């Protein structure tokens, strides 16, 4: 069953209220915007076979959630930065005459007491209508964006999306799905985590959790700890405590059939550092597989640098310097629980998931050939 499009999903009334045609035009452009706690990102793309071709993109660190932990509200300067970024997005949507889109906001807007006022101001000043999505949908979209990276050898899959304000984990059992069908089975989760009754093998979502801690919110909680190494250790153990209610917590999967896919700026930055890249290269990072030991080596290197050294390191980047250790603390906690020889690095996430879900619902993507 094709999911209904939420009434606040698009920027322009016609794009939202007009129902999808029975046969959507595969040449039509689609857009996906993800307004998170730290960044505002957008992709404009065209369906191409079983994938899509990116026509235009936008990414800006707006720090929308700055000060949210202490005040419970979005502050004026953060709102101003965000609206400026959204004006750029609006111009790009108009330039490409995009009609089909989903524009979503996540954890910062879920938690802020003034988020509704903020969304009304966004619509008034930019013409864009954003919808606040629930944690389950955020997790689901992150999962389907990673479908192409799922190994046919994987029986137990953990997808981790480390955001600015929250971290989503989804555990999926693929053991009953034929090997060649496993990536495709993940893509089919765009209709929801609860599988309809079906005689065919399907991806089973064992459990999922949205932890209200991301790189920005975790950093803010421990900003008063001066010692760099002590702050890192406290952040990592604190995050691990928040996973106690996650059902597969006590599982000890065999490394051979277990795969973690990590999607976040933290994971891609760690991968770039591991590769020694002076300039980020998505083609080298997306899909890279790393072991727990390789990741731990990079994190130890970050700690030995100290704050001053990390600021000078070109592999980390200016936007990531203050947030890399809180992200690394989350990553270390996960690998302490589930060490793996196959952590797949995904330079993809909510935007890609939004695009896949829209295109799949409209039937403009071809079935991938195993």
Alpha helices in the chain (DSSP H): 13-17, 68-71, 76-95, 107-111, 115-126, 135-145, 182-187, 215-221, 228-241, 265-275, 282-285, 292-312, 324-337, 350-362
pLDDT for the residue 250:
53
Q: Read off the DSSP letter of residue 27.
A: T
Residue 49, pLDDT score: 84
CB atoms within 10 A of CB 44: 24
Report how far apart, in Å, the C-alpha atoms of 70 and of each of 165, 223, 280 are: 13, 12, 34
How do 51-61 and 100-105 pair as beta strands?
unpaired
| Residue 67 CA: distances (Å) to CA of 52, 94, 231, 232, 235 | 37, 33, 19, 20, 18
- pLDDT recorded at residue 192: 79
What is the predicted pLDDT for the residue at 361? 85
Question: In this predicted structure, what is the pLDDT of residue 197?
Answer: 56
> How far is 234 from 236, CA to CA, in rounded Å?
5
pLDDT value of residue 9: 37
pLDDT averages per 10-residue partition of the chain, 370 residues: 36 39 70 96 92 94 91 96 98 96 96 97 97 94 92 93 94 92 86 67 88 94 94 97 79 76 94 92 94 95 94 83 94 92 91 92 70
Q: What is the DSSP letter of 190?
A: G
Q: Quick count: other Cβ atoms within 10 Å of Cβ 107?
A: 29
What pLDDT score was predicted for residue 286? 95
Cα angle, residue 221 at apex, residues 216 and 223 outer, rounded to 5°: 90
What pLDDT does residue 86 have? 98
Report the predicted TM-score, pTM, of the whole model to 2 decimal places. 0.85
**DSSP one-letter string for 219-253:** HHHTTT---HHHHHHHHHHHHHHTTTT-GGGG---
pLDDT at 228: 95
C-alpha distances (whole Å) from 244 to each of 88, 247, 249, 252, 339 are 41, 8, 7, 15, 17
pLDDT of 200 reads: 67
234 to each of 208, 241, 267, 332, how far by Cα in Å? 24, 11, 20, 12
What gap in Å lies between CA 119 and CA 284, rounded to an integer?
Answer: 37
Residue showing tokens 């599982």:
251
Residue 54 CA: distances (Å) to CA of 146, 210, 341, 364: 16, 29, 31, 15
Residue 3's SS3 state is coil
292: which residues sit within 8 A by CB, 6+ positions away?
Answer: 335, 339, 340, 341, 343
Domains and CATH numbers, the chain: 30-133 (3.30.420.40), 136-351 (3.30.420.150)
In the structure, how many helices (H) and strands (E) does the chain have?
Answer: 14, 11
């Amino acid at each position: 069953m094709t999911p209904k499009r939420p009434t606040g999903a698009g920027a322009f009334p016609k794009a939202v209220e007009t129902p999808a045609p029975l046969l959507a035009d595969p040449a039509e452009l689609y857009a996906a915007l993800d307004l998170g706690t730290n960044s505002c990102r957008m992709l404009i793309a065209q369906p191409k076979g079983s994938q899509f071709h990116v026509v235009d993109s936008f990414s800006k660190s707006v720090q929308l959630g700055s000060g949210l932990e202490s005040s419970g509200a979005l502050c004026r300067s953060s709102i101003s930065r965000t609206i400026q970024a959204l004006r750029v997005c609006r111009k790009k949507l108009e330039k490409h005459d995009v009609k089909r889109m989903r524009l979503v906001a996540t954890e910062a807007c879920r938690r802020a007491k003034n988020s509704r006022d903020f969304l009304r101001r966004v619509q008034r000043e930019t013409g864009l209508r954003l919808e606040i999505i629930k944690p389950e949908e955020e997790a689901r979209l992150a999962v389907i964006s990673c479908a192409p990276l799922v190994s046919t050898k994987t029986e137990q899959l953990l997808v981790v999306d480390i955001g600015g304000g929250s971290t989503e984990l989804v555990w999926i059992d693929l053991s009953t799905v034929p090997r060649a069908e496993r990536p495709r089975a993940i893509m089919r989760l765009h209709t929801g985590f609860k599988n309809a009754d079906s005689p065919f093998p399907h991806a089973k979502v064992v459990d999922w959790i949205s932890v209200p801690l991301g790189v920005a919110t975790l950093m803010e909680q421990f900003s008063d700890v001066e010692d760099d190494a002590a702050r890192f250790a406290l952040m990592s153990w604190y995050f691990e405590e928040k996973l106690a209610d996650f059902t597969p917590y006590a599982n000890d999967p065999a490394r051979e059939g277990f795969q973690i896919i990590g999607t976040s700026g933290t994971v891609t930055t760690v991968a770039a550092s591991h590769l020694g890249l002076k300039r980020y290269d998505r083609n080298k990072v997306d899909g890279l597989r790393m072991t727990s030991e390789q990741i731990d080596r990079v994190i130890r290197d970050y700690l030995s640098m100290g704050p001053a050294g990390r600021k000078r390191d070109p592999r980390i980047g200016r936007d990531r310097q203050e947030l890399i250790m809180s992200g690394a603390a989350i990553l270390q906690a996960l690998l302490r629980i589930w060490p793996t020889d196959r952590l797949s690095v995904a330079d993809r996430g909510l935007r890609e998931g939004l695009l896949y879900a829209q295109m799949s619902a409209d039937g403009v993507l071809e079935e991938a050939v195993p």
